[in-house]
Amino acid sequence: MKKKFLLAALGLAAVTALSFGVAACGGEGGDWTVEKVYSKARSCGYRGTVTELKAELAAHAITDLGTTENGSDHEHVFPEWTVVLEPACDSIGISFRQCTLCREAEFSFEEALPHTFGPARVIREATCEEEGVSLSTCTECGFVKEEVLPLAAHTFEEGWTSDATHHWHKATCSHADEVSGKAVHTFEGGVCTECGRPSGTYLVPVQYTGIAKYFGENIMPWEYLHNGVDLIAEAGAPVFATAAGVITNLGGDMLIIAHADGVESYYRCIDIDPALKVGDAVAQGEQIGTVAFGPNYESDEAHLCFVLTFDKTPKDPLPYLGIESDRRFYD
């Protein structure tokens, strides 16, 4: 019998201890000392010293913190709470009241309020190599919060870099091994639909020494934009078909060849091979004439005017011929 009573007593004690251990930062009564109040306040987030807490209590004339009198024979009569500390974003709230009959004391502890931060100010921008830092200031208490900004993404060129099979954007940051948008070329009409790289199906139609007029350049005095490129060459230099196709028009100093996928090539300022006629099929690299002798209305030098159209729309021939240029009147 004694053993059963002892076990029951121990069980009740364990439950009581557990209940006290998980008590929240709310109202709590009992016999208080400054040290007990301070311990409870610290567990709820109070950051002051015990001396500072004593000063706060004394400022509200709180010296009688509790009683050992037995108050179980009556119902407590409590006045309104006395606010010792208002809760703020940098401190907890503490309130106090005492029963007017037995002086049983109660303390209430409120957790600190969250900070209210204004807009963050970036003091170091994040890069792909170094994290950034921003500072935010609480509008209520002035507390400054520092935050680490994650690494930024790599940066890449807008233009394309390519080889025979792929195209990609090169990194402009220090991570030269990083690329963006790498993909296999998709050729249509002899050029990649994504990056504009020629497929290599178009041959340079003449051995040239320079460029007299570029695509998109204003032609004077007629005031129109050049729809091809004038390749400077020696008079009498052979002119070749840029790709296989069928002659659809010839006459005077101009010949037109239709190729696959709606592509046409125009050759002007040439002496056409007299053996050719409309409807003839020509092979890539087959000679179709020679550069006409002397200057003409577009240039003071002998040249071949070469035009490429895609579905009747002229495009700069140089990229399709693999010729680089630092002049882009059409940009």
The whole-number pLDDT of residue 96 equals: 95
Query: Which residues face 191 on adjacent strands?
Result: 188, 198
Q: What pLDDT is stored for residue 168 in this prediction? A: 92
pLDDT of the residue at 253: 92
The residue among 321, 324, 328 whose CA lies nearest residue 190 is: 321
The backbone region for 73, taken as left when phi is positive above 0, alpha when psi lies in -120 to 50, beta otherwise, is: alpha
**Second CATH level (architecture) for the domain 210-321:** Distorted Sandwich (2.70)
Running along the chain, 331 residues long, what does each successive block of 10 average in pLDDT?
35 31 56 90 91 93 75 83 92 93 90 93 94 95 94 92 84 90 79 73 89 79 75 93 95 94 93 96 94 69 92 89 62 41
Q: For Cα atoms 181, 192, 267, give the angle at the middle one, nearest 5 degrees.
A: 155
pLDDT at 260: 86
d(CA 216, CA 325): 13
Cβ neighbours around 320 below 10 Å, total: 25
Contact between residue 304 and residue 205 where contact means Cβ atoms under 8 Å apart: yes
Which has the closest alpha carbon to 230: 292, 285, 274?
292
pLDDT at 45: 87
Q: Nearest 5°: CA angle at 221, between 219 and 226?
A: 15
pLDDT at 104: 87
For residues 65 and 38, the answer to whether their CB atoms sit within 8 Å is no
Q: Tell me how far apart the alpha carbons of residues 264 and 296 are, in angstroms, rounded to a whole number.
A: 24
Instruction: Report the alpha-carbon distance of residue 77 to residue 98 in Å, rounded.
Output: 8
Nearest to 290 by CA among 265, 273, 308: 273
CA–CA dist 182, 171 (Å, integer): 12
Instruction: Check residue 209 and give left, alpha or beta (phi > 0: left; psi -120 to 50: alpha).
Output: alpha
φ and ψ at residue 209, rounded to 5 degrees = -115, -5
pLDDT value of position 72: 65
pLDDT score, position 325: 65
CA nearest neighbour of 268 among 200, 201, 322, 219: 219
What pTM was estimated for this model as a whole? 0.44
Q: Which two structure tokens, joined as six digits, stand for 213?
A: 């007029």
